[in-house]
Amino acid sequence: MTRDEFNDFCRSLPVTTHVVQWGGADVWKVGDKVFAIGGWTKGNTMGITFKTSEIGYEVLKEQPGLRPAPYLASRGMKWIQHYDKPGLSDDGLRDHLQTSHKIVALGLTKKKQRALNLYQD
C-alpha cells in the first residue's frame, strides 16, 4: 500500500481527521483519537500502525513483516506495525485499518459517538 492509498483509504472512513506529526507521519483520528499512523518506511514498504483487538494482537504480533508497534505496544497498548514484507496484503491492511477505526470509535463516550453519528444501534 502506498502512502497515497493509505491516506485515501483512511479519508474514506467515517468522521476522520488527518494531521502530519511525529516526524512527518500521517496520523489519522476519529473523534480526536488516533486509529492509524503511516510513515517510517523500510525499503519500499510503508510503515503502517493500527490498533487491534487483544486476539488480533496475539495473532499478528509474530507474523513476518509485522511487529508490536514501537512505543505504543511497549506501554501495554494493542497496536501492530506493518513494517516489512511479506506483512499484510493491501486488502488485509484495509480490513485492519477499518477495524482499528471501529475499535477507537467505540471507545469514545456514547455522547461523542452520538454527536459524530458513529456506530449507533
Which helix (DSSP H) or strand (DSSP E) does residue 102 occupy? helix 90-106
With vertex at residue 73, the alpha carbon angle to CA 34 and CA 35, rounded to the nearest 5 degrees, is 15
* Cell numbers representing residue 41 in the block: 518506511
Integer Cα distance of 77 and 81 in angstroms: 12
Backbone torsions φ then ψ of 47, nearest 5 degrees: -75, 120
| pLDDT attached to residue 73 | 73
Q: What is the pTM of this model?
A: 0.92
Q: Give per-residue pLDDT as tens, 48-66.
A: 999 999 999 999 999 999 9
- Please give the CATH number for the structural domain made up of 3-111: 3.90.1150.30
| pLDDT attached to residue 121 | 55
- Estimate to the nearest angstrom the gap between the alpha carbon of 100 and the chain centroid: 5
